[in-house]
Structure formats: structure tokens, C-alpha cells
Amino acid sequence: MAGTTLGFIGAGQMARALAHGFVSAKLLDASSLTAADPVPAAAEKLASELPGLKVAASNVAIASSCDVVVLAVKPQAMSAVYQELGGKLAGKLVVSIAAGISLAKLCEGLKTQRVVRVMPNTPALVGKGASAYALAAGATAEDGALVGKLLAAVGTAHQVDEKLLDAVTGLSGSGPAYVYLIIEALSDGGVKAGLPRNLSTALAAQTVLGAAEMVLARGEHPGVLKDAVASPGGTTIAGLATLEDRGVRGALIAAVDAATKRSAELGK
């Protein structure tokens, strides 16, 4: 990726996660990154965290100076970006990470077809992201490969049909928040049972990490792995029965479904 310059339109949470991830993975030098944000402190904070990253005076400056332009604003701010950048992105590869906004709307608003729609997630910051992406008609196979390489450097990357991206948003885009809630609640349970808070949170987070690693590394069905933990008449089945009784499985399915529907709504 040497020589490729990448600019973030918006320097918020997700731009920060990606910028840190790209630099930590040594895919891009901080000096090849630029960020613009109407809140000057946002881009300046990112520049202070990643020495070498440049702060641009405007979105237009990024559009003219960077090879890859990443739209990292909230979906609600996208129409302002169309106003500013529409027709000014000739020759640039545009990557949108906004929830819900379709490739058709992006291409129409930006007046370019060379667009890739991505749904990343914040663990990209530590190289453990989960992303999916879809290409507009004007994005070449090389553009897709470049975006895939960027995302794979900060986690896993799946090229998908665009119609799946709202569901990806509801699952892995929003999913870190569900898991944080679960970790926090498990830690509360440990504290209720008498563990000190630090130990309880450390055990909860490592348990989630280890369980996830077992699913990914062994490729076994999560149900089979669950059964291996539960001894007949033991502690785990007592805990599992309580989770089923309280509807945790249904609650998680409903959460992904609600977030998927909200992603589709945001694009309307």
C-alpha cells in the first residue's frame, strides 16, 4: 500500500478505530493519513494520537489530495457531504462506512460510481474487527481488493451482496456493544457472587474471548462446544436453564433484528 494516501471525512469513533488499526498493522504510515472534521478537536485528537497524520482544513481538501476518501460521518450528515463533495471525487476511490446508506444513494449524491460500501466495527482498533463490504458498478476489482486488504489488516473482511449489509450492521457493526453489555453483566454477576470488580471483569472478558476463539479456531458448532461445558446435574446447566428461562437467546435474536431494521430505516 506504499504511496496510497487515505483521508477520513469525519474523525469520530470509527475513523479513529480504522486509523489506529491501519497504522498498527503497518499497512499505512500515519503520514499517509489525513482527517477533516467540523469539530477541530476531533481531528486534532487523532493527529496527536498518531503523529504524522495530517489535519485537513476542509472535506474538499481531502477530496483533492487523497487517493482513497473514507466517509466516516453519521448517516444523518451524509446529505451535507453530498453538497460539499458531489462531483468533486473524479478519479478517487470512495469508501462509505455509514450504516444504512445504499450504494445507489451514495453514487447519486456523490456523482461518482467508484464507491465501496463497508460495514466495519470498532474492534478494528485492536486488529480484531469484523467487516463486510459491497462494490458499486464503477468500483473495479482492484478497488475491491484494496478495500479488502485494508479491512483484512484490521480483522476479517467479507465481500457480500449489498442486500446483506443491513443485517451485517445489525450483527457485527452494532454487535460489540451487545458483547460489552454481556461482559458488564457477567462481571456484575461475579461481583454479586463475591468477586472483586477487577478480577470479575477480567474473567468475564477473557471468557468471551476464549469462547469466541474456540468457535473460530475449531470450526465447531457453538451448541457442541456449549454441551462440552455442561456436566449432567452440574453448575453450567443450572446457569443455562436460567438464561433460557429469562429469554436471553430470543432477546439477542430480537436485538440483531431490531438493529438490522434500523439500518434499513436510516437509509430511507
Ligand X SMILES: O=C(O)[C@@H]1CCC=N1
Please report, in range form, the residues annotated as the binding site for NADP(+).
9-14, 72-75
**Smallest distance from ligand X to CB 186, Å:** 22
| Integer Cα distance of 72 and 36 in angstroms | 10
Report the nearest approach of ligand X to the CB of residue 52 (Å). 28
To the nearest 10 degrees (0 to 180), the angle between helices 78-85 and 103-110 is 40
Binding-site sequence positions for NADPH: 59
Residue 147 near residue 78 (C-beta atoms within 8 A): no
Residue nearest to ligand X (CB): 173
Contacts with ligand NAI by CB under 6 A lie at 9-15, 36-39, 42, 59, 72-75, 77, 80-81, 97-99, 119-122, 173
- Rule CB under 6 A: say whether 204 interacts with ligand X: no
Binding site: what residues are annotated? 9-14, 59, 72-75
* 31 contacts: CB under 8 Å, gap ≥ 6: 52, 53, 54
Cβ-contact 94, 106 below 8 angstroms: yes
Is residue 173 a contact residue for ligand X (CB under 6 A)?
yes
Mask of contacts with ligand X, 77-116, x by CB under 6 A? ----------------------x-----------------
Report how far residue 4's alpha carbon sits from residue 27's, in angstroms, rounded to the nearest whole number.
10
Size of the site for ligand X (CB under 6 A): 4
Altogether, the residues listed in the chain come to a count of 268
Answer yes or no whether residue 17 interacts with ligand X by CB under 6 A.
no
Nearer to ligand NAI, 23 or 36 (CB): 36
CB of 101 to ligand NAI, least distance (A): 8
Which residue stretches of the chain are H helix? 13-24, 40-49, 59-65, 78-85, 103-110, 141-152, 165-168, 175-192, 197-218, 222-229, 235-245, 248-266
The answer to the question of residue 129 lying near ligand X (CB under 6 A) is: no
88 or 128: CB nearest ligand X: 128
Nearer to ligand X (CB atom), residue 10 or residue 173: 173
Pick between residue 75 and residue 144 the one whose CB is nearest to ligand NAI. Answer: 75
Burial 13-49 (b: 16+ CB within 10 A, else e): ebbbbbbbbbbebebbebebbbbbbeeeebbebbbee
10 binds ligand X (CB under 6 A): no
**Contacting residues toward ligand X, per CB under 6 A:** 99, 169, 173-174
